[in-house]
């Protein structure tokens, strides 16, 4: 079997086998279309795999709903962004039905919510962002700050451990409109305590826009329980909705009536098919819609959320911890003596479902793994290699085999 070709102490393989044997999610791998069984895919945190049910659903949406139903299908399609949002809210994000909408891209959704957040505290002139937040978040906010004469303030972070709550408390003040933070850092996988961060924001009369891109589907987010007010996230990572699938946004129910989207569109209009020229935003989360929603993409998001719901987000978080714990343990034993270092938090509750290794020749390591070892990680500048272990379809055996293959290449002097 391909998943046993590398060098690996027998006890680690046994440990993986034991963990896989009691894995409540073990059967889920069969729910995905896996083309190359010997490929070790450690990049589900960039692009999740294709669920078999998604491929069937896409075919049905295309041929039956669009091809055969034609325009008549819109009577169902108009509800889809809400239905998909409700699924995400309840199965994935710990929010209430009616608080999540599937729409646009993460970038566009951040733009909308950032403008909305500014309108909640007119006159405040500072926007906070963690220095190592995902680039698109920096770009969106620097554009808004420049346009409106606000100041975008970068908060220093430990690039491996993430943003410290003490730093956040230092930076939030009564001139802060909002902060934009990732629940799970894209580079290190570091996880922040959302409840405590929200409390810090609230004590300054401010709030946080959460970027959940690396969190949704990998950890128990619990938007309601943590007191979160605004959030956005993508669906093509742990939600397995496909490349560039529509994103989502969350607005806590009490805020929905008091904020509006800067991008008004006919899908944010009340009674949209009356085709009035005057704008009158919808009462609910639909006011953050804009143009005609991408139906095929939204259907795939709903399918991805269903699968997460079926697996159970607690099971997924538990398995993410188990996979990443095992990876770090194996790296410590086999790779740490060879210039690899763990650049992610070592305690499972402090990270998500990916682990980042540092290596002076990270780009070469990453390329060699892909080309010669059938391991697919994700290179990140300047010297990092991310290993994402999507808990829905990754086994512990695969995790140790990845380390084994790296060790083998290392032993052959390939890096």
- Nearer Cβ to a second copy, position 269 or 356? 269
Minimum separation from the CB atom of position 281 to a second copy (A)? 9
Q: Is 383 in the site for a second copy (CB under 8 A)?
A: no
- The answer to whether 386 is a known catalytic residue is yes
Residues 331/342, Cβ–Cβ less than 8 Å: yes
Report the 10 Å Cβ neighbour count for 410.
20
Q: Which of 60, 139, 314, 337 forms a contact with a second copy (CB under 8 A)?
A: 139
- The answer to whether 193 is a known catalytic residue is no
At 154, which helix (H) or strand (E)?
Answer: strand 151-155
Distances (CA, A) of 156 to 69, 77, 323, 355: 53, 44, 29, 21
- The answer to whether 139 is a known catalytic residue is no
Q: Is 245 in the site for a second copy (CB under 8 A)?
A: yes
Ramachandran angles phi, psi of 192, nearest 5°: -105, 150
Question: What does the angle CA 231 – CA 232 – CA 234 come to, to the nearest 5 degrees?
Answer: 150
Minimum separation from the CB atom of position 222 to a second copy (A)? 25
| Binding letters toward a second copy, positions 108-127, x by CB under 8 A | x--x----------------
Give me the sheet containing 176-182, strands edge to edge. 100-102, 248-251, 230-233, 208-211, 176-182, 126-130, 151-155
The residue from 237, 287, 319, 380 that is catalytic is 237
Distance (Å, rounded) from C-alpha 386 to C-alpha 282? 41
How far does Cα 24 stand from its chain's mean position? 22
Tokens at 288, concatenated: 């953050």
Q: Which of 15, 96, 120, 136 forms a contact with a second copy (CB under 8 A)?
A: 136
Minimum separation from the CB atom of position 65 to a second copy (A)? 8
Q: How many residues bind a second copy (CB under 8 A)?
A: 81
Determine the 3-state secondary structure of 102 from DSSP. Answer: strand
Minimum separation from the CB atom of position 199 to a second copy (A)? 27
Binders of a second copy among residues 86 to 105 (CB under 8 A) are 104-105
Tokens at 131, concatenated: 């220095």
- Nearer Cβ to a second copy, position 202 or 270? 270
The residue from 211, 327, 351, 393 that is catalytic is 211
Q: Is 381 in the site for a second copy (CB under 8 A)?
A: yes
Binders of a second copy among residues 264 to 323 (CB under 8 A) are 264-269, 272-279, 290-298
Residues 265/284, Cβ–Cβ less than 8 Å: no
- The answer to whether 237 is a known catalytic residue is yes
Residues 110/176, Cβ–Cβ less than 8 Å: no
Q: Is 55 in the site for a second copy (CB under 8 A)?
A: yes
The residue from 28, 134, 238, 248 that is catalytic is 134
Binders of a second copy among residues 33 to 52 (CB under 8 A) are 33, 35-36, 39, 41, 43, 46-47, 49-50
Q: Where are the beta strands (DSSP E) in 89-150?
A: 100-102, 126-130
Minimum separation from the CB atom of position 190 to a second copy (A)? 16
Residue 194 neighbours by CB under 8 Å, 6+ apart? 183, 208, 210, 221, 222, 226, 228
Torsion of CA 101, 105, 110, 115, to 10 degrees: -80
Minimum separation from the CB atom of position 225 to a second copy (A)? 28
- Nearer Cβ to a second copy, position 51 or 227? 51
Binders of a second copy among residues 61 to 80 (CB under 8 A) are 62-63, 66-68, 70-74, 77
Minimum separation from the CB atom of position 361 to a second copy (A)? 18
Tokens at 360, concatenated: 């002076």
Q: Which of 98, 284, 370, 374 forms a contact with a second copy (CB under 8 A)?
A: 370
* Residues marked as catalytic: 134, 211, 236-237, 386
């Amino acid at each position: 079997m391909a998943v046993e070709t590398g060098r690996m102490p027998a006890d680690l393989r046994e440990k993986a086998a034991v963990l896989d044997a009691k894995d409540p999610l073990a059967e889920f791998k069969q729910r995905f279309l896996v083309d190359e069984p010997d490929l070790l895919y450690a990049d589900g945190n960039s692009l999740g795999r294709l669920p078999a049910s998604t491929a069937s659903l896409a075919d049905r949406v295309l041929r039956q709903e669009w091809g055969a139903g034609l325009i008549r299908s819109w009577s169902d399609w108009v509800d889809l962004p809400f239905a998909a949002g409700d699924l995400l809210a309840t199965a994935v994000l710990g929010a209430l039905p009616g608080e999540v909408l599937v729409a646009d891209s993460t970038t566009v959704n951040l733009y909308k919510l950032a403008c909305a957040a500014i309108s909640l505290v007119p006159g405040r002139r500072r926007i906070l962002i963690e220095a190592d937040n995902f680039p698109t978040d920096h770009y969106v906010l620097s554009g808004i700050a420049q346009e409106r004469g606000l100041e975008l303030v970068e908060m220093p972070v430990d690039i491996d451990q993430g943003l410290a709550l003490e730093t956040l408390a230092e930076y939030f003040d009564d001139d802060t409109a909002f902060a934009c933070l990732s629940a799970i850092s894209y580079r290190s996988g570091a996880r922040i305590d959302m409840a405590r961060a929200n409390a810090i924001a609230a004590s300054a009369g401010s709030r946080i826009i959460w970027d959940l891109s690396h969190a949704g589907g990998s950890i128990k987010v619990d938007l309601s329980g943590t007191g979160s007010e605004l959030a956005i996230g993508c669906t093509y990572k742990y939600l397995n909705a496909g490349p560039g699938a529509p994103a989502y946004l969350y607005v806590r129910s009490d805020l929905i009536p008091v904020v509006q989207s800067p991008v008004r569109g006919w899908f944010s209009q009340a009674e949209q098919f009356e085709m009035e020229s005057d704008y009158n935003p919808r009462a609910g989360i639909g006011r953050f819609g804009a143009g005609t929603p991408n139906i095929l993409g939204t259907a795939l998001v709903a399918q991805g959320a269903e699968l997460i719901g079926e697996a159970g987000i607690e099971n997924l978080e538990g398995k993410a911890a188990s996979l990443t714990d095992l990876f770090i343990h194996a790296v410590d034993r086999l790779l740490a003596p060879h210039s690899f270092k763990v650049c992610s938090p070592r305690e499972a509750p402090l990270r998500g479902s990916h682990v980042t290794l540092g290596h002076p020749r990270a780009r070469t390591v990453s390329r060699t793994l892909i080309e010669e070892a059938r391991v697919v990680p994700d290179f990140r500048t300047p010297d990092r290699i991310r290993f994402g272990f999507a808990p829905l379809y990754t086994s512990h055996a695969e995790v140790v085999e990845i380390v084994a293959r790296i060790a083998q290449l290392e032993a052959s002097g390939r890096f």
